[in-house]
Amino acid sequence: MAEKQNIRSLSREELAEFFTAHGEKAFRAKQVYEWLWKKQAGSFDAMKNISSSTRALLEEHFFIHTVTIAEKQVSADKTIKNAFRLHDGKITEGVLIPTTKRMTACISSQVGCSLSCKFCATGRLDRLRNIEPEEIFDQVALIKKQAEEHYQTPLSNIVYMGMGEPLLNYKNVLKSVELITSEEGLGMSPRRITISTAGIAKMIKKLGDDEVKFNLALSLHAANDAKRSEIMPINEQNSLESLKEALQYFYEKTGTRPTFEYIIFKDFNDSLEDAKELAAFCKCVPCKVNIIEYNPIDDGEFERADADKTDKFAAFLENTFNLIVNVRRSRGKDIDAACGQLANKNKAGSPNS
């Protein structure tokens, strides 16, 4: 007997071909596809408007792997961190970030990470595998449900800023965006989705070639090569000059202005000279800048910049260089859910080995 196949890896057209090949009506594909994506059925038995014989046929040939929440932690500021268990037992994390203006899902694209950024807890983990498109979709669907159940508010934004480097899981990430934005899926606008990258120049250009509709954020954190290479080894193969060129190409192809993420560290990148270097880099393309408070990690080498220095840094960029700047205050720090803190530190335990 042939091995069972992951039914959620099939397109609606492929499902229709399966049904016609087995003497069933092609329209069954539309019904099943709706159950899989719009209704997020976790089993064939849940597909109540489909006959028992057809469900048995599906059971014979396919399986449905779904993501579950292994553990949930709620912060004092109402941020919710989830430990997601994947079908093979591996754990990744995702966060619901509620604010007065938006309800954001921060999701992961890999189990662990291979980039070893010095300031990031996730970077200390090994990269164990890429997360499949349906597993990324499930993270969003579960967090969307949380937003509605806990805060009676619909999910408004999605950021691929959890574990992993999305552009090193390019195909799966783009497929997940397709599923999330499809009317047959969650029907979210791509303009409400941001993919964050540590900076892989050739893949940023590929995003331009693919004329993606979602937003792009670059984790910059330093605007000279020496400092950036010190904290982000990826900069050694992806210099600031190569990133400038890639960003210009991306902007020309998509018309979407990127956001530069800049974690501000005490006595490392928080001077006005650092701000001048950042402003010079920002000239390469129309952009926005997010100044992010640093969230300390265990045995970390860095400290959070003083609040008044952070505000002066941001004001200098705005007033002197006319840049669009937001200062992002950390949320979920008390449960290690803030930016850079995701490291599977949860009671669910991590069978990630």
Asked if the model's pLDDT at residue 338 lies above 90, the reply is: no
Both 29 and 160 in one domain: the answer is no
Instruction: Single out the catalytic residue among 93, 132, 134, 261.
Output: 93
Q: Give the residue, 128 or 272, on which the prediction is more confident.
A: 272
Residue 121 domain-assigned?
yes
Both 238 and 144 in one domain: the answer is yes
Measured at the CA of 262, the angle between CA 170 and CA 125, to 5 degrees, comes to 55
Both 327 and 250 in one domain: the answer is yes
Both 184 and 43 in one domain: the answer is no
Residue 344 domain-assigned?
no
Among 63, 89, 106, give the residue marking a domain's end.
Answer: 63
The 10s digit of each residue's pLDDT in 138-191 is 999 999 999 999 999 999 999 999 999 999 999 999 999 999 999 999 999 999
Query: Which of 262, 226, 260 has the alpha carbon at shortest distance from 243?
Result: 260
Asked if the model's pLDDT at residue 108 lies above 60, the reply is: yes
pLDDT at 345: 52
Averaged pLDDT for residues 338-343: 51
Domain of residue 230 covers: 68-335
Asked if the model's pLDDT at residue 255 lies above 90, the reply is: yes
pLDDT at 341: 52
Whichever domain contains 9, its CATH number is 1.10.150.530
Catalytic, 120? Answer: no
Phi, psi of 27 (to 5 degrees): -65, -20
Residue 82 domain-assigned?
yes
Segment (H or E) for 219: strand 215-219
Among 26, 47, 63, give the residue marking a domain's end.
Answer: 63
Both 285 and 147 in one domain: the answer is yes
Both 35 and 85 in one domain: the answer is no
Catalytic, 93? Answer: yes
Averaged pLDDT for residues 65-92: 94
Averaged pLDDT for residues 241-251: 98
Torsion angle defined by CA atoms of residues 211, 285, 328 and 127, in that order, rounded to the nearest 10 degrees: 50
Query: Which of 251, 333, 324, 315 has the alpha carbon at shortest distance from 284?
Result: 251
The 10s digit of each residue's pLDDT in 81-96 is 999 999 999 999 999 9
Tell me what the pLDDT averaged over the chain comes to. 92
pLDDT at 335: 55
The 10s digit of each residue's pLDDT in 11-60 is 999 999 999 999 999 999 999 999 999 999 999 999 999 999 999 999 99
pLDDT at 347: 46
| Residue 245: burial class (beta carbons within 10 Å; 0-12, 13-18, 19+) | middle
pLDDT at 339: 54
Asked if the model's pLDDT at residue 352 lies above 70, the reply is: no
Both 179 and 48 in one domain: the answer is no
Both 49 and 86 in one domain: the answer is no
The pTM score is: 0.92
The 10s digit of each residue's pLDDT in 298-325 is 666 889 999 999 999 999 999 999 999 9
Q: Give the residue, 218 or 339, on which the prediction is more confident.
A: 218
Confirm if 86 and 93 have CB atoms less than 8 A apart: no
Both 52 and 138 in one domain: the answer is no
Both 310 and 329 in one domain: the answer is yes
What is the percent of the chain where pLDDT is above 90?
82
Both 51 and 79 in one domain: the answer is no
pLDDT at 120: 83
Whichever domain contains 185, its CATH number is 3.20.20.70
How far is the C-alpha of 281 from the C-alpha of 151, rounded, in Å? 39
Residue 341 domain-assigned?
no
Asked if the model's pLDDT at residue 350 lies above 80, the reply is: no
Asked if the model's pLDDT at residue 351 lies above 70, the reply is: no
DSSP 89-139: S-EEEEEEEE-SS-EEEE--SEES-SS--TT-SGGGSPP-EEPPHHHHHHH
Residue 76 domain-assigned?
yes
Instruction: Single out the catalytic residue among 106, 113, 120, 339.
Output: 339
| Residue 34: burial class (beta carbons within 10 Å; 0-12, 13-18, 19+) | middle
The structure tokens listed for 310 are 């952070």
pLDDT bracket for residue 79 (50, 70, 90): very high
Residue 165 domain-assigned?
yes
Averaged pLDDT for residues 253-262: 98
Averaged pLDDT for residues 105-114: 93
Asked if the model's pLDDT at residue 114 lies above 90, the reply is: no
Both 283 and 138 in one domain: the answer is yes
Give the chain's domain count. 2
Q: How far is CA 235 from CA 10, 78, 242, 302, in A?
A: 37, 35, 10, 19
